[in-house]
Amino acid sequence: MRSAEITRKTRETDISLSLCLEGGDVCADTGIGFFDHMLNSLFFHSGMGAVLKAVGDLNVDAHHTVEDVGIVIGQALREALGDKKGIARFAHAYAPMDEALAFAALDISGRPYLVYDAPMPQEFIGQYDTCLTVEFMRALTVSGGLTLHMKAVYGDNSHHVTEALFKALALALKAAVRITGSGASSTKGKLD
Protein backbone atom coordinates (compact mmCIF):
# COMPACT_ATOMS: atom_id res chain seq x y z
CA MET A 1 0.00 0.00 0.00
CA ARG A 2 1.34 3.40 -0.96
CA SER A 3 0.48 5.40 2.13
CA ALA A 4 1.82 7.96 4.58
CA GLU A 5 1.09 9.31 8.06
CA ILE A 6 2.17 12.92 8.58
CA THR A 7 1.89 15.20 11.60
CA ARG A 8 2.95 18.82 11.73
CA LYS A 9 2.71 21.02 14.80
CA THR A 10 3.73 24.66 14.96
CA ARG A 11 2.67 27.64 17.05
CA GLU A 12 0.05 28.35 14.38
CA THR A 13 -1.31 24.91 13.44
CA ASP A 14 -1.58 21.29 14.57
CA ILE A 15 -2.23 18.94 11.65
CA SER A 16 -2.42 15.18 11.21
CA LEU A 17 -3.01 13.33 7.96
CA SER A 18 -3.35 9.68 7.05
CA LEU A 19 -3.16 9.31 3.25
CA CYS A 20 -3.48 6.21 1.06
CA LEU A 21 -3.06 6.47 -2.70
CA GLU A 22 -5.07 3.26 -3.16
CA GLY A 23 -8.27 4.67 -1.64
CA GLY A 24 -10.17 4.51 1.63
CA ASP A 25 -12.24 6.77 3.86
CA VAL A 26 -12.25 10.49 3.14
CA CYS A 27 -12.69 13.08 5.87
CA ALA A 28 -11.21 16.57 6.15
CA ASP A 29 -11.78 18.70 9.24
CA THR A 30 -9.98 22.04 9.32
CA GLY A 31 -12.59 24.27 10.91
CA ILE A 32 -12.99 26.07 7.55
CA GLY A 33 -16.19 24.78 5.99
CA PHE A 34 -15.56 25.62 2.36
CA PHE A 35 -11.95 24.41 2.53
CA ASP A 36 -13.14 21.09 4.00
CA HIS A 37 -15.53 20.81 1.04
CA MET A 38 -12.63 21.36 -1.39
CA LEU A 39 -10.32 18.89 0.37
CA ASN A 40 -12.99 16.20 0.50
CA SER A 41 -13.56 16.74 -3.22
CA LEU A 42 -9.80 16.61 -3.91
CA PHE A 43 -9.33 13.33 -2.05
CA PHE A 44 -12.51 11.71 -3.37
CA HIS A 45 -11.97 12.54 -7.05
CA SER A 46 -8.27 11.61 -6.90
CA GLY A 47 -9.26 8.17 -5.63
CA MET A 48 -7.22 8.60 -2.46
CA GLY A 49 -8.18 7.75 1.07
CA ALA A 50 -7.44 10.57 3.49
CA VAL A 51 -8.30 11.47 7.04
CA LEU A 52 -7.12 14.98 7.85
CA LYS A 53 -7.53 16.95 11.07
CA ALA A 54 -6.23 20.49 11.38
CA VAL A 55 -6.51 22.94 14.24
CA GLY A 56 -5.24 26.39 13.40
CA ASP A 57 -5.22 29.96 14.59
CA LEU A 58 -8.49 30.81 12.88
CA ASN A 59 -8.88 33.74 15.28
CA VAL A 60 -6.15 35.39 13.15
CA ASP A 61 -7.48 34.16 9.79
CA ALA A 62 -7.46 30.98 7.69
CA HIS A 63 -4.12 31.59 5.95
CA HIS A 64 -1.84 29.55 8.23
CA THR A 65 -4.24 26.61 8.30
CA VAL A 66 -4.75 26.49 4.52
CA GLU A 67 -1.05 26.87 3.74
CA ASP A 68 0.08 24.31 6.33
CA VAL A 69 -2.50 21.78 5.13
CA GLY A 70 -0.99 22.18 1.65
CA ILE A 71 2.46 21.49 3.10
CA VAL A 72 1.25 18.36 4.91
CA ILE A 73 -0.58 16.94 1.88
CA GLY A 74 2.49 17.55 -0.28
CA GLN A 75 4.72 15.78 2.27
CA ALA A 76 2.31 12.85 2.43
CA LEU A 77 2.18 12.53 -1.37
CA ARG A 78 5.96 12.57 -1.57
CA GLU A 79 6.28 9.91 1.14
CA ALA A 80 3.50 7.70 -0.25
CA LEU A 81 5.02 7.78 -3.74
CA GLY A 82 8.42 6.64 -2.44
CA ASP A 83 10.91 6.26 -5.32
CA LYS A 84 8.08 6.91 -7.82
CA LYS A 85 8.98 3.83 -9.87
CA GLY A 86 6.29 2.89 -12.34
CA ILE A 87 4.07 5.96 -11.95
CA ALA A 88 2.60 7.66 -15.01
CA ARG A 89 4.15 10.92 -13.73
CA PHE A 90 2.48 13.30 -16.23
CA ALA A 91 -1.23 14.03 -16.38
CA HIS A 92 -3.68 16.78 -17.17
CA ALA A 93 -7.40 17.27 -16.79
CA TYR A 94 -10.23 19.68 -17.40
CA ALA A 95 -13.05 19.89 -14.88
CA PRO A 96 -16.32 21.79 -15.33
CA MET A 97 -18.46 23.07 -12.49
CA ASP A 98 -21.65 24.61 -13.82
CA GLU A 99 -20.56 27.73 -15.75
CA ALA A 100 -16.90 27.41 -14.70
CA LEU A 101 -14.16 25.40 -16.39
CA ALA A 102 -10.67 24.75 -14.99
CA PHE A 103 -7.54 23.01 -16.25
CA ALA A 104 -4.63 21.38 -14.41
CA ALA A 105 -1.42 19.92 -15.88
CA LEU A 106 0.82 17.99 -13.51
CA ASP A 107 4.32 16.53 -13.51
CA ILE A 108 5.40 14.56 -10.44
CA SER A 109 8.99 15.47 -11.23
CA GLY A 110 10.57 16.34 -7.89
CA ARG A 111 11.00 19.88 -9.21
CA PRO A 112 8.46 22.20 -7.56
CA TYR A 113 6.94 24.88 -9.75
CA LEU A 114 3.50 26.46 -9.82
CA VAL A 115 1.88 28.44 -12.62
CA TYR A 116 -1.52 29.66 -11.44
CA ASP A 117 -3.90 31.73 -13.52
CA ALA A 118 -7.28 31.88 -11.82
CA PRO A 119 -8.84 35.28 -11.24
CA MET A 120 -11.74 35.06 -8.81
CA PRO A 121 -14.97 36.96 -9.50
CA GLN A 122 -15.78 37.31 -5.78
CA GLU A 123 -13.25 37.83 -2.97
CA PHE A 124 -14.93 35.56 -0.42
CA ILE A 125 -16.77 32.23 -0.48
CA GLY A 126 -18.51 32.32 2.88
CA GLN A 127 -15.62 32.98 5.29
CA TYR A 128 -13.02 31.56 2.86
CA ASP A 129 -10.78 34.17 1.24
CA THR A 130 -10.34 33.15 -2.41
CA CYS A 131 -6.69 34.30 -2.43
CA LEU A 132 -5.94 31.30 -0.19
CA THR A 133 -6.38 28.84 -3.06
CA VAL A 134 -3.10 29.86 -4.68
CA GLU A 135 -1.40 29.67 -1.27
CA PHE A 136 -2.62 26.09 -0.85
CA MET A 137 -1.49 25.12 -4.36
CA ARG A 138 1.94 26.73 -3.84
CA ALA A 139 2.50 24.92 -0.53
CA LEU A 140 1.36 21.62 -2.07
CA THR A 141 3.66 21.91 -5.08
CA VAL A 142 6.73 22.93 -3.09
CA SER A 143 6.43 20.28 -0.38
CA GLY A 144 5.26 17.60 -2.81
CA GLY A 145 7.92 18.27 -5.47
CA LEU A 146 5.27 18.83 -8.12
CA THR A 147 5.21 20.94 -11.24
CA LEU A 148 1.63 22.19 -11.54
CA HIS A 149 0.03 24.49 -14.08
CA MET A 150 -3.54 25.61 -13.32
CA LYS A 151 -5.92 27.82 -15.21
CA ALA A 152 -9.48 28.90 -14.65
CA VAL A 153 -10.60 29.01 -18.27
CA TYR A 154 -13.77 30.90 -17.36
CA GLY A 155 -16.40 31.22 -14.65
CA ASP A 156 -18.63 33.80 -12.99
CA ASN A 157 -18.90 32.30 -9.51
CA SER A 158 -15.85 31.94 -7.25
CA HIS A 159 -17.27 28.84 -5.57
CA HIS A 160 -17.61 27.12 -8.94
CA VAL A 161 -14.21 28.31 -10.19
CA THR A 162 -12.44 27.10 -7.05
CA GLU A 163 -14.24 23.77 -7.05
CA ALA A 164 -13.38 23.23 -10.71
CA LEU A 165 -9.70 23.93 -9.91
CA PHE A 166 -9.63 21.40 -7.07
CA LYS A 167 -11.43 18.78 -9.18
CA ALA A 168 -9.09 19.30 -12.14
CA LEU A 169 -6.14 18.81 -9.79
CA ALA A 170 -7.77 15.68 -8.34
CA LEU A 171 -8.29 14.13 -11.77
CA ALA A 172 -4.72 14.92 -12.82
CA LEU A 173 -3.35 13.45 -9.57
CA LYS A 174 -5.40 10.29 -10.01
CA ALA A 175 -3.89 9.74 -13.46
CA ALA A 176 -0.32 10.78 -12.57
CA VAL A 177 0.10 8.51 -9.53
CA ARG A 178 -1.23 5.37 -11.22
CA ILE A 179 1.26 2.59 -11.82
CA THR A 180 1.90 2.11 -15.54
CA GLY A 181 5.28 0.38 -15.56
CA SER A 182 8.14 -0.78 -13.38
CA GLY A 183 10.91 1.76 -13.93
CA ALA A 184 11.30 5.47 -13.44
CA SER A 185 9.42 7.59 -15.95
CA SER A 186 12.50 9.67 -16.77
CA THR A 187 15.33 9.61 -19.29
CA LYS A 188 17.63 10.21 -16.30
CA GLY A 189 16.63 6.86 -14.84
CA LYS A 190 15.19 8.30 -11.63
CA LEU A 191 12.80 10.92 -10.34
CA ASP A 192 14.12 13.07 -7.49
Which domains can be identified in the chain, with CATH numbers?
A: 3-176 (3.30.230.40)
The one-letter amino acid at 116: Y
Nearest 10 degrees: Cα torsion 151, 155, 158, 164? -50
**Could you report the per-residue pLDDT of 50-78, keeping only the tens digit for each?**
999 999 999 999 999 999 999 999 999 99
Evaluate if residue 149 carries a pLDDT over 90: yes
Instruction: Give the confidence band of 181 by pLDDT, cuts at 50, 70, 90.
Output: confident
Helix axes 33-46, 158-176, angle to 10 degrees: 30
**Could you report the per-residue pLDDT of 134-143, keeping only the tens digit for each?**
999 999 999 9
| Model pTM score | 0.95
Evaluate if residue 184 carries a pLDDT over 80: no
Per-residue pLDDT at 186: 57
Q: Give the single-character DSSP code of 43.
A: H
Q: How buried is residue 59: exposed, middle or buried, by Cβ count under 10 Å (0-12/13-18/19+)?
A: exposed
**Could you report the per-residue pLDDT of 88-135, keeping only the tens digit for each?**
999 999 999 999 999 999 999 999 999 999 999 999 999 899 999 999
Percent of the chain with pLDDT over 70: 95
Other beta carbons less than 10 A from residue 115's beta carbon = 12
The one-letter amino acid at 143: S
